[in-house]
Amino acid sequence: MFTINPLPQQLPPAIVDLLEQVETATVGHILHSGFIGGGIRAVLPEKRVAGTAVTLRIPGADSTLLHHVLSLVRPGDFLVIDRCGDTKHACWGGVVTNAAKLAGVKGGVIDGPATDFSEVRKCEMPLWCTGPSPITTKLLGLEGAFNVPVSVGGQTVEPGDAVLADESGVLILKPSEAEAIARRAIEMQEREVTLLERLRNGEKLPEISGATAKIEAANGKRAA
């Protein structure tokens, strides 16, 4: 059986533009949750993209629903694919790469492998997955679910969530918090530019960060 739910409301373009100024690692200084794990990494590390999560749950060797939804997705959507624990079959290859790119999909993240990385690079299609596999899914017409809550890399993702992905990983945010987190992260990145300039001018990192002062204070307390 196939479950096909309506597409979620997309993020405003201004929020997407703001998010794409943010490094996921900067948000890692702010949040401890929301990050996709499980060894999922970028095929194109130089790409940083943000978009609206449209979710897909497809089990085992069947990718029928993935092919179907490529006629439904919109420019600005970000495909988030739950493979239900399958680590053998690549559901995403060269044809899916081209179809997604032509549909305006911002990127894809898969809780499993992909294939045809050379085509992914040729199309410059931002993709995050667990690595390559030569064994592909088939059009078996068995089951799947579109736009339902999914689990990808240990992170729950709901349709309409904000997705930010770059060389360091993939971050999921609720639309209501995306702007505030993005603005805070951009401020941190701007402060980092100043910090790097101070280092170039001869200051030492532990003096700027306060690490040395904390160690001296802690050792002083023990001595007392």
pLDDT tens-digit map of 200-217: 999 898 888 888 888 888
Helix (H, G, I), strand (E, B) or coil at 73: coil
- List Cβ neighbours of 211 (8 Å cut-off, separation of 6 or more): 205
Domain that holds residue 194: 184-223
CA pair distance 149, 147, nearest whole angstrom:
7
| Residues 188 and 162 grouped into a single domain | no
CA pair distance 194, 190, nearest whole angstrom:
7
| Residues 140 and 85 grouped into a single domain | yes
| Residues 22 and 114 grouped into a single domain | yes
Q: What percentage of residues in the chain have a pLDDT greater than 70? A: 98
| Residues 122 and 194 grouped into a single domain | no
Closest to 95 (Cα-Cα) out of 70, 72, 126, 62 = 70
User: Residue 112 sits in a domain of what CATH number?
Assistant: 3.50.30.40
Among the candidates 139, 156, 176, a domain finishes at 176
CA distances from residue 74 to 13, 49, 54, 103, 105 in whole angstroms, order as listed: 13, 15, 10, 6, 7
| Residues 108 and 145 grouped into a single domain | yes
| Residues 172 and 189 grouped into a single domain | no
Whole-prediction pTM value? Answer: 0.91
Give residue 78's pLDDT: 98
- Structure confidence by residue, pLDDT tens digits, 33-77: 999 998 999 999 999 999 999 999 999 999 999 999 999 999 999
Angle at 35 between CA 205 and CA 138, to 5 degrees: 140
Give residue 193's pLDDT: 87
| Residues 70 and 161 grouped into a single domain | yes
| Residues 33 and 137 grouped into a single domain | yes
DSSP 179: H
Give residue 224's pLDDT: 54
The pair of three-digit structure tokens given for residue 41, joined into one six-digit string: 């990494």
Per the structure, the count of domains in the chain is 2
| Residues 191 and 116 grouped into a single domain | no
Identity at 91, one-letter amino acid code: C
- Structure confidence by residue, pLDDT tens digits, 98-127: 999 999 999 999 999 999 999 999 999 999
| Residues 167 and 194 grouped into a single domain | no
DSSP 154: T
| Residues 85 and 139 grouped into a single domain | yes
The pair of three-digit structure tokens given for residue 5, joined into one six-digit string: 């739910």
| Residues 31 and 9 grouped into a single domain | yes
